[in-house]
Structures are given as C-alpha cells and as structure tokens.
Amino acid sequence: RLKPFNRLQVILQHLKMSKHTDLTAEVLLEKRGGAGIITLNRPKALNALNLSMIQQIYPQIKTWEQDPETFLIIIKGTGGKAFCAGGDIRAITDAGKVGDRLAQDFFREEYILNNAIGTCKKPYVALIDGITMGGGVGLSVHGHFRVATEKTLFAMPETAIGLFPDVGGGYFLPRLSGKIGYYLALTGFRLKGRDVLKAGIATHFVESEKLPALEKDLIALKSPSTENIADLLNSYHVKSKVDEEKKFVLDEHMEKINSLFSAKSMEEIVKKLKQDGSPFAIKQLETINKMSPTSLKMTLRQLREGASMSLQDVLTMEYRLSQACMRGHDFYEGVRAVLIDKDQSPRWKPAALEEVTDEFVDDCFKPLGNNDLKL
C-alpha cells in the first residue's frame, strides 16, 4: 500500500493530469442544457482538423443523434481567429509521400463525418466566426444552420495546392446561385463577413460579440424543434446591423461570372476570359494561371457532375479524387510551394491545361473497387 504522503502525491498528480488533458484536448465535447457542444480547440493551428479530432467528433454526433435529451448540436472554434482553417494538410502530405495509411484514412473518415453532419437528424448549428476554409467548410456547410459574423472569412483555396474543393464541395458549390460556386472553387476567391450570407453559404449573420449570448439562449431552449431554433437565430439575425447597407462584393460581376464560368471546359473558360478582356476577367485569368491545371480540370468536372448527385455520391466521387491527388505530383508540389518553402512558385506537372488529357482526368474519377468510400 502507498504511504499517505505518496497517495496524496498520486492523487494530486492525477488531478493535475486530468485538468491538463482537458485544457489541451484538441476538441472539447460537452453537453449543456439541451445542446451537445463541439469546440475545436487547436487555436495555434487555427483549429485545423486532424484525424484524432475527426475520430472524436464522429461518434459523439452519432450518440447525440440517438439521445432523446439532446435537441441540437452546436459546433464552434476557440481562439477568436478561426472557426477551422482547414484539414491538417502537413500530416497528410508527409503520410502520402511515404505511402502511409493516413492519406487514405484521413479523407475517408473526414468524408464520413461530413456525411454524418449532412444527414444529422438533430438541428446542427455551426458558429463560423473567423477563418472557415476547406475542412472547416465541411464541418459547417452541410448542417442545418451556419451563423456567419463580421469576422468570417470563407474560401475553398484547394486548386492553389494541387487539390480540389472537397468535403462535399461538389455538392454545395454548384447549388449556390448562378455560377458563384464554380467561381469560388476555381479561383479560391475569399468571401468576408456578410458576403458569406449573401452568397448563400451562411444561413444567418450575427455580430461576433453576440455569439456567447446566442449560445446561452440556444442552450436554454426547452425541447426545441428546428423551427424554435430557426426563430431564435432569426431574432439575433434581424438585430445585427453590421455592414447591412453594403452591396454584395460580387454583385457587379455576377453577370460576367454567370456567363464566363458556364463553359463546359477549362480551356473554354480561359478563352472566354481572354475574349472578355475586362479588368475583372484579366484578374481572374491571372489567378487561374497560378493554379494547378490538373486541379482546375478535376474541379470543373467535379462540380458539373456533383450538381445533380446526392451528397453521398459526391463524397464517394471526391474520395476517388483525393486518392488520385495522393498518387499524383501537384498536391505535394503545391503544399511545398505554399505551406513548406512558401516560395509561392509551384512547378505544376503538367504545366498547361492543354497537357492535362481527358484520359488522365477520367482516370481520377474511376471507382476504387474495395477501396471505395462506403457511406
């Protein structure tokens, strides 16, 4: 038996540890009132999503979905800068290079989580305060409610790193009005604040400083229905006056976006942009010229096909594309240029759109047999 002093030491050590692990947990899962609350807790990494976070969030959503005492799920990020700036790309890159399973598991489990959010039977409220990109979009956009604030910064910048706008991008992007989704996907254009609502990505807009009060009110709702939750969100939304008068940032360009980005091929989009020759068109050309030609072709087809698919079929398609990227060249080169060496000058292979053959693109979309994503 331990001496009393030693026992006390062990107990203190244990207390210190349990308190310590709670504070440093990468994701906090708690039940408050009628709400299950998911808090992404990697502020230094802008709450980037890694595999262990996915593996904690998924079963918890499934449990809450079955729990008669849980009426809604809230997801948010800590640190004040980001909701979630994306997936843990560095870890995936390292794994992919050496053929580690993580490059398969990460995408597989992330997409299964995206689908769980998209099919969740309980109202799901994402507080997308701050940077919301890539993987962070997947954690929010498929749920019932997305609350943007003046600090929200939304983008799907994947074509710049040799990837494609995944996490169900092929489902929600082509369903935005006109060709906004195609424009966002191909150029990585960033939407800020109220524009995230106006583009149809957020469902509500609430000032950032009002979020704690909103959360408290959501938690306090007694056995709420989806309508009750919508009413509460609406009551906050109508009181939010920040940037109310501002025009949608893409307003004056919508006509051009709708015509220029309706082309069936990337070559045609580029041709149309050149023919248009307006300052806006030239700017888009410059942006598109920096992107991975392979990613651009993959993305355009992903969105065109995804426009008429279910979320499940889209995620299955995107899993195939993710594995094509892991087998290819541009993803590793893009991550090197943008995230590792930060020289911002990726050397894409192939380097021109014309060199990316239809056969190659077809190959990226081929089923993976037993390795296909099963939802």
Write out the two tokens for 117.
């959010």
Write out the two tokens for 78.
């800590």
Active-site residue, selected from the candidate residues 88, 110, 129, 166: 166
Largest CA-CA distance found in the chain, in angstroms, rounded = 85
Write out the two tokens for 143.
């749920």
158 given a catalytic annotation: yes
87 given a catalytic annotation: yes
Active-site residue, selected from the candidate residues 36, 77, 86, 87: 87
Where does the chain have alpha helices with state H?
Answer: 4-24, 51-66, 89-97, 102-118, 135-138, 169-172, 180-187, 194-198, 211-220, 226-239, 254-260, 266-276, 279-290, 293-306, 311-327, 330-335, 358-364
Active-site residue, selected from the candidate residues 158, 195, 215, 330: 158
Using the Cα atoms of residue 106, residue 169, residue 165 and residue 82 in order, give the sign of their dihedral. negative
The HSE-up count of residue 36 (CA atoms within 13 Å, CB side) is 23
The rounded distance, in Å, linking the Cα atoms of 150 and 127 is 12
Q: Are 84 and 136 in contact (CB under 8 A)?
A: yes
Q: Which residues of 208-237 are buried (b: 16+ CB within 10 A; e: fewer)?
A: beebeebbeebbebeebeeebbbebbeebb
DSSP 246: P
Write out the two tokens for 246.
């501002």
- In 3-state terms, what secondary structure has residue 192? strand
166 given a catalytic annotation: yes
Q: Are 142 and 117 in contact (CB under 8 A)?
A: yes
Active-site residue, selected from the candidate residues 36, 135, 188, 306: 135
Catalytic residues: 87, 135, 158, 166
